[in-house]
Every structure is written in C-alpha cells, then in structure tokens.
Chain A
C-alpha cells in the first residue's frame, strides 16, 4: 500500500514511563486495506479495485509525529474514492512483534508490561522499494473484484440462533447447522489430536441496508495435516486439496474461514507447554494463539472471514469460540446458526 513517503514507527516506554526507544516498523497494512474494501463493498463501490490503496496519517491532537490513527483511501484517481479511518489500536500487532525483538535484544524483559505510541515521520528517501527482479505485475480482473451476491439480510438471519457474544457492528456470518454438526463429529473422532478444515460459502450484500453478510454452506476437512495434541500444521498439500474439494462442489463457493479443534479434555493435567495447572488449561482452551492469528492473517485476510475453534471439553462436549476481523483487528465475535435461504 502506498504510504506517501511516511515511515511508521513505535515509541516504546516501560510501565514507569521511562523510554526504551523509537523503532521503525514494517507495518502489515493488508488487514486495513481489506477492511477498507469491505466498507467499499457495503457502499456499493463498483470500480477501482485495482487502484493502489493509499494510507495517510491522522495526527493526534498533540500534533506530529504522534498518530491518533490513519486513513486508507481506495480509488480517487479520476474515480470515486472511499476512505476508511482506523485508530492506533491497529498497531498492537506490530507492537507485539516488536516486543519479541526487544526481548531478544535485551531491551525488554520477557513478560514485562510496556506502553507504545504510534508515530509517522517523513521518509528522507521517499521512494517505494523497487522490485529486485524488476518484475512487471498486472492485476487480473476477475480475481480482484469481490464476488458478491445480492440478498436481503433480514431473510437470511430470520430464525437463526446465536453462538457466542456478538461484537457490536460485526459482519453477520450465518452457518448452516450441519456445518457445526460435522465439525463436532470430526473433533470427537480426532480424539487427543487437533483437527481442522476450511469453511466455504458466499458473500452477500444487502443493498437496502448497505451491509454485507456471509453464509457458510459447508466445511471442507483438512487432509495432509501434521497434528499433535496442541498443534495443527496446514501443509501446501492441505491447501491444494481444500481448493480442489471446494471447486468439485461446483457451487461457486469461496473460502470464507477455517476451523480447528482444541482437545482440551486431553490437556487437563497435561497442559501443553505448561505446568499441568488446570487454570492454565482453561485459559488455553478458549484462546486464539499467535499461530492461529498468523494463519488467519496469511490465508484469510478478508474482513468477512472467520475462524472457528471447537473446544472438546469432554468426550461428548464440544463448545465453539468464534474469531474474526473488526476494524482490521482480530477479535472474538459471534456467529448465527440456521436462518432462512439467502
């Protein structure tokens, strides 16, 4: 994303207010660009999906170089522009990554609480980095324009039951009940090891409400994974088969998320990476780890994509947790189950 000659940085402080330093960060803007696309889809934006997105600083009231947030602008080159603002909360992921580096360098102690402030300063060079191989790159039209069907949201959510606490303003995601039933069965069958798969479905727009929603129509089990009690690796062969299986369904479905299980019943007394304390296991069973977050960001950066965690608490007890994007940040969210035909 074009940063218009700004370099983004974090000023890091210890809890007592003493400065640790200022560090330039390589910001992963993609979730913000995707959220701006989501806003554009809601507003019925038609063209300009190939125009490079721009990011602009929004200054804190204390003035430059301190950021209150930033703005992502889509389009605008002779076309309608769509702008979307984000708070500095977006930089939490960058701060987490930076903290690991600072711990390794001895500037912070592992587990130490720190504060940070987001900054933007002018790049004295100001030129975007050139492709080392000098590739010539062109967007391919049909893939980059979002595939969105038109439907009434009210019809789609009618009679649906809720799973989990909804997040205010979340993108409605409605799952067919059999999808959850299949995940429960696969989770139980996997026993003491993790298992998972992809969630496929369609993205809809309700033009009368300027809103989008997602309908999950099926889950596609992941094969060729490498699974243990606490980890699940999705290999290149896994993604190949998921893509093939989804195409073979012939319904024009897209990947709209993924799921994986936590065999919590097998963690009790043998907590992964921990002391065997039941309290720690309780915390882990409902968590979305940094590995989970990295997988979601890598494969499912779309704002409408969700991650479902199936927590197997006992042989016949599976409870779900749901996570997804909100304002380009991964948060716990809710899910609708059932509903009417969309």
Chain B
C-alpha cells in the first residue's frame, strides 16, 4: 500500500538482529530512501558503519510485514506503513584479515 507522500511515517519499530536494541522512530520523511533511513538508524542503534579497517559495512532492512529485505533505493513512502517493524541485518564476514 502506498502512503500519502506528504505524510511523515510514525511509529516505525526498529530492532537490531539480536532483538536487544529496539527503538520507535517517528517523523520519517516519506520521500527519503530506505538506504538513507538505514544510515541514520545505525547511529540510533549504536551499530558500526565501518569494520575495524574502516571499510563500510553493508546492512539490509527486513520488513516483518512482508517478510522481505527492502531495497535501499525504495522510498519510505512506498515501502513503509505507520507501525511497521523492521530489523537491521548486516552482511558480514568472518575469517581472513589480520589477527587482532
């Protein structure tokens, strides 16, 4: 369902992958992209944007209502409804690299 473009999205529930950090987000501009929103949410959930060597970490937002990962280029107004729940999940690698 497409939300009215002029209305900000309220009451978005955002959690990290462990479910141990959870925030309610309101006043989300409907014309911003999911990718822009995710970058802002990383700070709010104290999730790192880069790995130990300064390389950017990749995250996806999984929308519970549809059981799918949102595309970073989708707009919030197209993808989200008030009260939706999303989980921020990293694509992250173990192994390799220098020992710490």
* Interface residues, chain A, with chain B CB atoms under 8 Å away: 1, 28-30, 33, 93, 96-97, 100-101, 131-140, 142-144, 194, 196, 230-236, 239-240, 242-243, 254-255, 260, 262, 272-273, 283-284, 287-295, 297-302, 330
CB pair B23–A290 under 8 Å, yes or no, is no
Question: Nearest residue in B to A132 (C-beta to C-beta)?
Answer: B40
Q: Is A137 in contact with B23, judged by CB distance below 8 angstroms? A: yes
A66 and B93 CA atoms in complex are apart in Å by 36
Quick check: A140 and B20 within 8 Å, CB to CB? no
B3 at the interface (CB under 8 A from A): no
B90 in the interface (beta carbon within 8 A): yes
Chain B contact surface mostly: mixed
Contacts A97-B54, A236-B60, A298-B47 given: A194-B95 contact, CB under 8 Å?
A: yes
Do residues A93 and B93 form an inter-chain contact, with CB atoms below 8 A? no
What are 16 A-to-B residue pairs whose CB atoms are below 8 Å? A133-B29, A133-B37, A135-B27, A136-B27, A137-B25, A143-B19, A232-B93, A233-B93, A236-B69, A262-B95, A289-B94, A289-B95, A289-B96, A290-B97, A291-B51, A297-B48
Distance, CA A243 to CA B22, complexed state (A): 15
Q: A288 and B18 in contact (CB under 8 A), knowing A136-B27, A236-B69?
A: no
Once the chains are docked, how many angstroms separate the CA of A101 from the CA of B96? 19
B44 at interface, CB cutoff 8 A:
yes
For the complex, what is the distance from the CA of A330 to the CA of B91, rounded to whole Å? Answer: 21
| Contact in complex: B23, A140 (CB < 8 Å) | yes
CB contacts (< 8 Å) of B62 on chain A: these are: 236, 240
How many pairs, one residue from A and one from B, have CB atoms within 8 Å of each other in the complex?
A: 174
* Closest residue on chain B to residue A98 by CB atoms: B54
In the complex, what distance in Å separates the CA atom of A129 from the CA atom of B69?
29
Minimum CB–CB distance from A218 to chain B (whole Å) comes to 15
The answer to whether A194 and B26 touch (CB under 8 A), given A243-B87, A287-B99, A288-B99, is no
Cβ contacts under 8 Å, A243 to chain B: 17, 19, 87
Q: Which residues of B contact A139 (CB under 8 A)?
A: 22-24
Whole-angstrom CA separation of A309 from B50 in the bound complex = 23
Q: Quick one: closest A residue to B92, CB to CB?
A: A295
In the assembled complex, how far is the CB of residue A332 from the closest CB belonging to chain B, in whole angstroms? 10
